[in-house]
A and B are shown apart, each in its own frame.
Chain A
């Protein structure tokens, strides 16, 4: 049976040329979806001189929409001003599914709203964890609830992230899929190991890292040096780790406001010859830094997924990390040592990791192959495609959401099948006493703008863009 392919628009404020996790996620997912025969465009705001339309590798068409950037490359939230342009792009490219990324991206939130107004299917991918305590979180959560009141499906990068998103936006848990991030494992290969035949005498099995008791263990840290990345813990732990384990070195890559604390710690304890600070590094150079070490230390305080620890494990490093957020779900226990986010426990866990490496108990040389089977973008694309099929009705609703919830009638309203304005308004109205009315007002205005656009720029007068030559769709169930 020929499988249906979709025209998908990924919308996010964060995209190349800016580096980052969300950016590479969107790009990788887009290319892999194109490999599966879909058509993917990316809509983002303009970055300095980069405006207009660009094509990336594999035919990813990127629209850099001119919008003012206000804070950390989020565009200014105007709610409606994006609509005419958005509608034009959607019609030109014959988009069927709008896929927004990242909570903090206003462009994404607006696109989901307009997409629903235009009668499209919408998906939202959440990449971050947000608490419930402070004012900023409360506002963010309210905004997210507005957007997600009327979305077809949500994708989260970890189960913890799913719990968080379900709570924040009051969603049906079955509307939320967990599809982790992945990595390009070929970019994170460990150092080539000498062929057993070239060694003077053959050991069976070859030890993981033939570490003698006096060899130096190198601990790598690659992280932005911010408070929420646990740099304070790192600063407190490094002198103690070095005191307990004299044959240890640190390599720290990354920059941020907490770098000065690390510098102070190094100078105060005279550790210049044991701790090397590399400053900011580009993502493509991370592998070269990682393969210099034996242990990767990740002291973060909050993390939705933690791609970097997967990258480290893929490079053959033993991972020491704090068990926060989604991190405990990411790697199997034989690759990681978990610590509480406490100074003492971090020191102890690093000590255990060093001891295990010295005893040659950890087969780090196998990590790369194992990680390769765990995470791949192809798999992510396949799972995302199932979401697309589910929301487009190509998988039956029973099959997609499950049948055994006979009492699910109350959820069918929230699952966003129905695009009628009155049903959408019902969903928005439930958002809160005041917020609900405000949101309804926004939706009604959005709808009026849509009607106006339909009249002013009729659909049949908009040119249809020519597609990049499509790849033949892969049949649905074959394993890669």
Chain B
């Protein structure tokens, strides 16, 4: 409807005025009170008229009726003469027009009833106008990911140009990961305690869905543990696939190979928990708090496993793409990291089992091909381990930080922006002497902060300003959304 024929655009024709006024984009920026929000029953019940539409015809009808009044007298004899040939639009009839097909009506087929035509049309029924600060907060999640990728690239360039020692990169990375793990462990512990308390207080709270997904996790880890001992990674392909799993393994302490199995079981547990039975919740809680030590042990075990696997694989990775030219590698890793940024699961909460596997896999493949450019085994090992930390484990931590408190989220964002900026500045700017390196790093921080603020603010403002072009049309012709409560086995769509 955005493009009507020009002739239709400025006509005072009642029927079209109605549609036009109902779809004009200018009004959509008007306050929300004028807009009727769609309740589920509106989709099919034809009784409610939206205030926006019902007002317009009434004032039109006054002038319209006057015209009809004049021609009314002439019309009378004709009506009796020919039933089919009677004029449309005349409101002087014996019976009212009904919006029914089975009734034999005395109106012509192309009669358009002013009162009811398009009365169920709804514009932007589910529109929720964006607000600035929440939007900024949401965009900062994207910013974090972009900064993580930047930091990784900077680290690679540092290692590649032999400015930074690979050991220091991976050392600091691992240290940060360890600290992050401790913090995360602490958070999870607190959360579980809270949950126990909450359960005692209200046994049947309605917010089952989100929490049960969190509850499902410890149990899955128990299942995973039993199988973790047998897990061993042999092939490169398996390793690549295993990385994201290992990343999750940190949170649920499963070994890489057993993870697939445990996820599916966890999934079914969650589904069971969503359904009404209380039983799985009890089971889910049983490994607490005594099982926590076991979880930690398992995490350490899988960490050692990944560590040694990587150590063993590094010589192979080193010569992986020797026959490929560097240009291809740069281009390929650029695209892979772009895929990582675009397909990252920005909306995922803490309970997500397998967040954006395409994104993670792309990033790990990028790190693998980049690592294969490096000359020594130690460098390869460092970069690959670092990439696992950055792309596999760090997102989990970020999710939890955001879930825990906005303060942490903001602090983390600021740190990431500064880190990425400083890194970029140092890589692009400085020679190797200390002073100018720090200066260019500082410059990078400033520029990055500026760019981040402009980008976040600008994008938010842009998106908000684009909202006035939003013009979703809904009505009884739309496919209804079925409300199905008892989903027993099928969970499609």
Could you list which residues of chain A lie within 8 angstroms of chain B, going by C-beta atoms? 129-133, 149, 153, 155, 158-161, 163-164, 166-167, 170, 172-180, 227-228, 230, 232-233, 235-236, 240, 261, 264-265, 268, 301-302, 305, 322-326, 328-332, 340-344, 374-375, 382-383, 386-387, 395, 398-408, 410-411, 413-414, 426-427, 429-433, 435-436, 476-477
Check B4–A170 contact: CB distance below 8 A. yes
Report the bound CA distance from A460 to B486 in whole Å. 69
Which of A261, A343, A436, A476 is within 8 Å of B490, CB to CB? A261
Check B10–A410 contact: CB distance below 8 A. yes
Check B487–A236 contact: CB distance below 8 A. yes
Residues of B within 8 A of A173 (CB): 15-16, 110, 112, 117
Question: Which residues 1-36 of B sit at the A interface, judged by CB distance below 8 A?
Answer: 1-8, 10-13, 15-16, 19
Question: Which residues 39-80 of B sit at the A interface, judged by CB distance below 8 A?
Answer: 40-41, 43-46, 64, 67-68, 71
**Least distance between A326 CB and chain B CB atoms (Å):** 8
B6 to chain A: closest residue by CB: A430
Check A235–B490 contact: CB distance below 8 A. yes
Check A402–B89 contact: CB distance below 8 A. yes
Report the bound CA distance from A265 to B487 in whole Å. 11
Residues of A within 8 A of B486 (CB): 236, 240, 343
Q: Contacts A328-B46, A413-B7, A414-B7; is A175 near B110 (CB within 8 Å)? A: yes
A386 to chain B: closest residue by CB: B84
**Least distance between A60 CB and chain B CB atoms (Å):** 24
B432 at the interface (CB under 8 A from A): no
Q: Contacts A179-B109, A324-B476, A406-B67; is A398 near B87 (CB within 8 Å)? A: yes
Check B44–A404 contact: CB distance below 8 A. no
B466 at the interface (CB under 8 A from A): no
Check B87–A322 contact: CB distance below 8 A. no
**Least distance between B4 CB and chain A CB atoms (Å):** 5
* 18 CB < 8 A contacts A-B: A158-B101, A161-B477, A164-B477, A167-B1, A180-B101, A236-B487, A301-B481, A323-B45, A324-B480, A341-B43, A341-B481, A400-B110, A402-B88, A403-B89, A407-B13, A413-B7, A431-B5, A477-B82
Residues of B within 8 A of A265 (CB): 488-489
Residues of B within 8 A of A399 (CB): 85-87
Question: Which residues 320-367 of B sit at the A interface, judged by CB distance below 8 A?
Answer: none
Check B477–A160 contact: CB distance below 8 A. yes
Check B481–A404 contact: CB distance below 8 A. no
Which of A164, A176, A403 is within 8 Å of B87, CB to CB? A403
B83 at the interface (CB under 8 A from A): yes
A338 to chain B: closest residue by CB: B44
Check B5–A170 contact: CB distance below 8 A. yes
Residues of A within 8 A of B10 (CB): 410
**Least distance between B377 CB and chain A CB atoms (Å):** 49
Check B490–A232 contact: CB distance below 8 A. yes
Which of B8, B12, B117, B483 is within 8 Å of A407, CB to CB? B12
Report the bound CA distance from A166 to B477 in whole Å. 12
7 tightest A-B contacts by CB?
Answer: A430-B5, A402-B89, A402-B88, A177-B109, A410-B11, A342-B483, A164-B477
Number of interface residues of B (CB under 8 A): 66
Check A233–B482 contact: CB distance below 8 A. yes
Residues of B within 8 A of A129 (CB): 477-478
B479 at the interface (CB under 8 A from A): yes
B83 to chain A: closest residue by CB: A477
**Least distance between A212 CB and chain B CB atoms (Å):** 31
Most buried by A among B8, B67, B90, B493: B8
B479 to chain A: closest residue by CB: A302
**Least distance between A177 CB and chain B CB atoms (Å):** 4
Residues of A within 8 A of B485 (CB): 236, 343-344
Check A232–B101 contact: CB distance below 8 A. no
Check B479–A301 contact: CB distance below 8 A. yes
Check A163–B477 contact: CB distance below 8 A. yes
Which of A178, A400, A414, A435 is within 8 Å of B8, CB to CB? A414
Which of A400, A403, A407 is within 8 Å of B11, CB to CB? A407
Check A343–B483 contact: CB distance below 8 A. yes
Which of A261, A323, A344, A413 is within 8 Å of B44, CB to CB? A323
Residues of A within 8 A of B473 (CB): 132, 167
Check A436–B475 contact: CB distance below 8 A. no
Which of B4, B85, B481, B488 is within 8 Å of A395, CB to CB? B85
**Least distance between B91 CB and chain A CB atoms (Å):** 8
Report the bound CA distance from A59 to B87 in whole Å. 35
A301 to chain B: closest residue by CB: B480
Check B109–A387 contact: CB distance below 8 A. yes
Q: How many A-B residue pairs have CB under 8 A?
A: 218
**Least distance between A244 CB and chain B CB atoms (Å):** 13
Check B100–A163 contact: CB distance below 8 A. no
Check A330–B6 contact: CB distance below 8 A. no
Check B68–A404 contact: CB distance below 8 A. yes
Which of B3, B13, B85 is within 8 Å of A435, CB to CB? B3
Check B99–A329 contact: CB distance below 8 A. yes
B300 at the interface (CB under 8 A from A): no
Residues of B within 8 A of A383 (CB): 109
Residues of A within 8 A of B41 (CB): 340
Report the bound CA distance from A65 to B476 in whole Å. 37
**Least distance between A101 CB and chain B CB atoms (Å):** 17
Which of B8, B67, B68, B90 is within 8 Å of A170, CB to CB? B8
B472 at the interface (CB under 8 A from A): yes
Report the bound CA distance from A177 to B102 in whole Å. 15
**Least distance between B87 CB and chain A CB atoms (Å):** 5
B19 to chain A: closest residue by CB: A167
Q: Contacts A159-B99, A261-B490; is A411 near B11 (CB within 8 Å)? A: yes
Report the bound CA distance from A443 to B490 in whole Å. 49
A346 to chain B: closest residue by CB: B482
Which of B86, B88, B483 is within 8 Å of A174, CB to CB? B88
**Least distance between A281 CB and chain B CB atoms (Å):** 24
A428 to chain B: closest residue by CB: B5
Residues of A within 8 A of B110 (CB): 153, 173-178, 400-401
**Least distance between B237 CB and chain A CB atoms (Å):** 33
Check A167–B118 contact: CB distance below 8 A. yes
Check B118–A163 contact: CB distance below 8 A. yes
Check B87–A149 contact: CB distance below 8 A. no
Report the bound CA distance from A463 to B19 in whole Å. 48
Residues of A within 8 A of B87 (CB): 398-399, 402-404
Report the bound CA distance from A258 to B479 in whole Å. 17
Residues of B within 8 A of A435 (CB): 3
**Given contact pairs A132-B474, A167-B473, a sample of 13 additional A-B residue pairs in the complex whose CB atoms are under 8 Å apart:** A129-B477, A149-B5, A167-B475, A174-B15, A236-B485, A261-B490, A322-B480, A330-B102, A332-B102, A399-B87, A403-B89, A429-B6, A477-B83
Check B476–A341 contact: CB distance below 8 A. no
Which of A155, A160, A178, A477 is within 8 Å of B476, CB to CB? A160
Check B68–A163 contact: CB distance below 8 A. no
Which of B85, B88, B90, B472 is within 8 Å of A401, CB to CB? B88
**Least distance between A328 CB and chain B CB atoms (Å):** 7
B207 at the interface (CB under 8 A from A): no
Check A264–B490 contact: CB distance below 8 A. yes
Residues of A within 8 A of B46 (CB): 328
Residues of A within 8 A of B101 (CB): 158-159, 178, 180, 305, 326, 329-330
